[in-house]
Amino acid sequence: METRLLLPTKENIELTAQALANGQLAAIPTETVYGLAANALDGDAVRKIFEAKGRPMDNPLIVHVSDLASVKNMELVSEIPPKAVKLAEKFWPGPLTIIMPKGKAIPNEVSAGLETVAIRFPSHPVTRALISAAGVPLAAPSANTSGSPSPTSAAHVMHDMSGKIPYIIDGGICEVGVESTVVTTVSDTPMLLRPGGITLEQLREAVGEVDVSEAVLFKLKEGQKAESPGMKYKHYAPKANLILIKSDDEKYIEYVNSRKNDNVGALCYDEDEENLSVKTFPFGKKNDFENQANRLFDALRSIDETNLTTVYGRCPETYGTGMAVYNRLIRAAGFEVIELA
């Protein structure tokens, strides 16, 4: 299959929206990461997403809408819980996905057989224009091969999806850079299932108490259930063995430099670069978590363009947007952390 890379002109948005409405796939930019979209109301179209990504069928997809009204009108959910209303009013359009009881219109392929469905109203103007023009909600997971870092540029999508899908819309670099925050409102107390651009602190400010799923920060034990199916899979890992180093700046630099050889690299903060004597992959400024989120996946992908065997990474903070960065990095490192006293 030939993959066409299109700029988001009016004509191209119309062309792609038609293709989506007719059951084809398209990779589309959003403010979080690039999504691989299909008509969310068409089970056969949605199935193609799982094939193109190699995604396990038990990992449900997020349904994207371009207005709040269609969530109820189109029977995407059976009910909008009061806390979901509050969260939607506060954070939509934006990088927040809300889990609600599933409505009649949602095919099993989207919800992976669960009784709930994940809904998001994105803020990116191109995403919104595409959903409106298609006239249907779009199911869209990240547009990467399952297990790889999520794509934050059209080039990343091309790398993973070339020959597998008909269209990629190039909307430049994604602003947030990590996938949406996922929160469920099906439980009495809302629970954070995946951290993202909307922080835990912001959620708590909006609706009071919010629990945090254990899988956000810790490795699940054998047989332990993941509240969000996606959290049980190995994810984002580069080919090289990535090990996180929890320490201050000086000890990190000393540790990495003492292990210098041709096969060793460093996934570091910008400020570390000048002091490191191995190949560096800077993923952001030390105290700027938004900048780290924005650049992390590109840095992880660039490790894969080398033949390094071991990469030592900085261990990010776990508050604010840092929690989203930590959640991705700890998975990329297979939960391997060395703490230097």
Task: Name the site residues for ligand AMP (rule: CB under 6 A).
Answer: 59-62, 99, 111, 114, 116-118, 141-142, 179, 182, 193-194, 228-231
Residue type, 32: T
The one of Mg ion, ligand AMP, none whose footprint includes residue 194, by CB under 5 to 8 A per kind, is ligand AMP
User: Does 111 interact with Mg ion (rule: CB under 5 A)?
Assistant: no
Q: Which is nearer to ligand AMP, 7 or 217 (CB)?
A: 217
**Closest distance of CB 292 from ligand AMP, Å:** 19
The one of Mg ion, ligand AMP, none whose footprint includes residue 107, by CB under 5 to 8 A per kind, is none
Q: Which is nearer to ligand AMP, 175 or 272 (CB)?
A: 175
Q: How far apart are CA 169 and CA 17, in angstroms?
A: 11
Q: Which is nearer to ligand AMP, 120 or 314 (CB)?
A: 120
- The pair of structure tokens assigned to 283 is 């993923």
User: Does 146 interact with Mg ion (rule: CB under 5 A)?
Assistant: no
**Closest distance of CB 143 from Mg ion, Å:** 9
- The pair of structure tokens assigned to 43 is 């089970």
The one of Mg ion, ligand AMP, none whose footprint includes residue 117, by CB under 5 to 8 A per kind, is ligand AMP
Q: Which is nearer to ligand AMP, 141 or 313 (CB)?
A: 141
Residue 118 near residue 60 (C-beta atoms within 8 A): yes
Q: Which is nearer to ligand AMP, 215 or 333 (CB)?
A: 215
| Element of type H or E holding 50 | helix 43-53
Question: Phi and psi (nearest 5°) for 151?
Answer: -80, 135
Q: Which is nearer to ligand AMP, 128 or 314 (CB)?
A: 128
Q: What is the largest CA-CA distance in the chain?
A: 61
> Edge-to-edge, what's the strand order for the sheet holding 4-6?
4-6, 167-169, 26-28, 35-39, 138-139, 62-64, 116-120, 96-101, 181-184, 191-194, 211-212
- Residue 42: how many CB atoms within 10 A of its CB? 19
User: Which residues face 36 on adjacent strands?
Assistant: 27
What is the residue-wise DSSP string for 249-290?
HHHHHHHHHHT-STTEEEE--GGGGGG--SEE---S-TT-HH
Among 39, 66, 97, 142, which residue interacts with Mg ion (rule: CB under 5 A)? 142
- The pair of structure tokens assigned to 34 is 């690039």
The one of ligand AMP, Mg ion, none whose footprint includes residue 196, by CB under 5 to 8 A per kind, is none
221, with CB counted inside 10 A (0-12, 13-18, 19+), is: exposed
Q: Site size for Mg ion, by CB under 5 A? A: 2
Q: Residue with the closest Cβ to ligand AMP?
A: 230
**Closest distance of CB 59 from Mg ion, Å:** 8
| Helices and strands counted in the chain (H then E) | 11, 16
Q: Which is nearer to Mg ion, 123 or 144 (CB)?
A: 144
The stretch among 38-46, 140-148, 268-276, 329-337 that binds Mg ion (CB under 5 A) is: 140-148
Q: Which is nearer to ligand AMP, 61 or 71 (CB)?
A: 61
Q: How far apart are CA 51 and CA 194, in angstroms?
A: 24
User: Does 327 interact with Mg ion (rule: CB under 5 A)?
Assistant: no
**Closest distance of CB 40 from Mg ion, Å:** 16
The stretch among 60-68, 99-107, 133-141, 166-174 that binds Mg ion (CB under 5 A) is: 133-141
**Closest distance of CB 34 from ligand AMP, Å:** 11
- The pair of structure tokens assigned to 226 is 């993941």
Residues lying near Mg ion in the complex (CB under 5 A) are found at 141-142
